[in-house]
Amino acid sequence: SPLALEGRISCRDLGFSYDGVHPVLEGVSFAVRPGQMLALVGHTGSGKSTIISLLMGFYPLAQGQLCFDGHPIAQLGLASVRRQIGLVQQDPFIFAGSLADNLRLGRSGIDDARLWQVLEEVQLAAFVRALPAGLESALDEGGRNLSAGQRQLLSFARALACDPKILILDEATASVDSQTEAALTAALACARRGRATIAVAHRLSTIVDADEILLLSRGRVQERGRHEAL
Ligand code: ATP
Ligand code: MG
């Protein structure tokens, strides 16, 4: 398709305010190419999730430029860009329905074989195979019958199902057991290959593995570089 993105992201002098008065982001710039991972770190309220919201086109920019493959989001079309971003949510939306429906989210062209593939990638396949109804197992609203780690892995599998060129991850802050921690690290190591990845990072392994880290403070980039340099 002519709209298929390579996945280059560039963001220049980004500025934003929710109320038009108090600035939440000022002068934020970064670029990510396929195969690279950018980590966003900083205290609560520093603007990390706001950057993700702007990348997803949830709000119009107040200032600056945000481009995918060199084109402003408005030129490419919001729906088209969003379809090509795999978003792993901090608190994933899980509805009462089958596991398969929760993974597909109404998108066409994702067959069972693809679902098993992404479940393998996030190390949930063994867990799902052991369920009596497999992919058709019922999930509770909010995923209450899953652990916090399993919910994030499910969100991961959901994001990967459409084989997006861009991966955006808002890491869960909830503490998980060491096995889930290892699964999350392995899933990210695998999923980021060939993709442009932007991660709001809480886990040290994500920060260490990032090609660039932006340390945000009150909506500004306070420091940037690789882990060993910061
Ligand atoms: P955390 O680590 O707690 O998730 P964050 O770095 O993701 O924090 P943001 O959620 O981007 O921070 O918030 C940045 C600032 O914008 C904060 O001052 C916050 O109160 C404000 N803010 C966030 N979302 C909204 C919103 N929907 N409406 C108004 N203000 C908001
Ligand atoms: Mg946040």
C-beta of residue 158 within 8 angstroms of C-beta of residue 105: yes
The pLDDT score that the predictor gives to residue 10 is: 98
Residue 59 Cβ contacting ligand 1 at under 6 Å? no
Q: Name the residue at shortest CA distance from atom 26 of ligand 1.
A: 18
Q: pLDDT-derived band of residue 11, with 50, 70 and 90 as boundaries?
A: very high
The pLDDT score that the predictor gives to residue 1 is: 47
C-beta of residue 69 within 8 angstroms of C-beta of residue 7: yes
The pLDDT score that the predictor gives to residue 222 is: 97
The pLDDT score that the predictor gives to residue 5 is: 93
2 vs 90, more confident: 90
**Candidate from 19, 46, 90 with most ligand 1 atoms within 8 A of CB, to mutate:** 46
> What is the signed CA dihedral for 44, 215, 55, 22, rounded to 10 degrees?
60
The pLDDT score that the predictor gives to residue 164 is: 95
Of 95, 53, 94, 60, the residue nearest 74 (C-alpha): 60
Residue 58 Cβ contacting ligand 1 at under 6 Å? no
The pLDDT score that the predictor gives to residue 193 is: 95
Sign of CA dihedral 127, 173, 15, 12: negative
Phi, psi of 37 (to 5 degrees): -125, 130
Of 159, 85, 168, the residue nearest 119 (C-alpha): 159
Ordered by where they begin, the domains of the chain are: 9-225 (3.40.50.300)
For residue 19, which atom of ligand 1 is closest to its CA? 29
**Is residue 3's pLDDT more than 80?**
no
Residue 46 Cβ contacting ligand 1 at under 6 Å? yes
The pLDDT score that the predictor gives to residue 89 is: 87
43 vs 74, more confident: 43
CA of 163 to the centre of ligand 2 (A): 25
**Is residue 129's pLDDT more than 50?**
yes
**Candidate from 48, 91, 221 with most ligand 1 atoms within 8 A of CB, to mutate:** 48
pLDDT in tens, 164-214: 999 999 998 877 888 888 999 999 999 999 999 999 999 999 999 999 999
pLDDT in tens, 86-127: 999 888 899 999 999 999 999 999 999 999 999 999 999 999
Q: Name the residue at shortest CA distance from atom 19 of ligand 1.
A: 45
Strands 138-139 and 63-68, bridge-based pairing? unpaired
Residue 51 Cβ contacting ligand 1 at under 6 Å? no
pLDDT in tens, 18-49: 999 999 999 999 999 999 999 999 999 999 99
Q: Name the residue at shortest CA distance from atom 24 of ligand 1.
A: 50
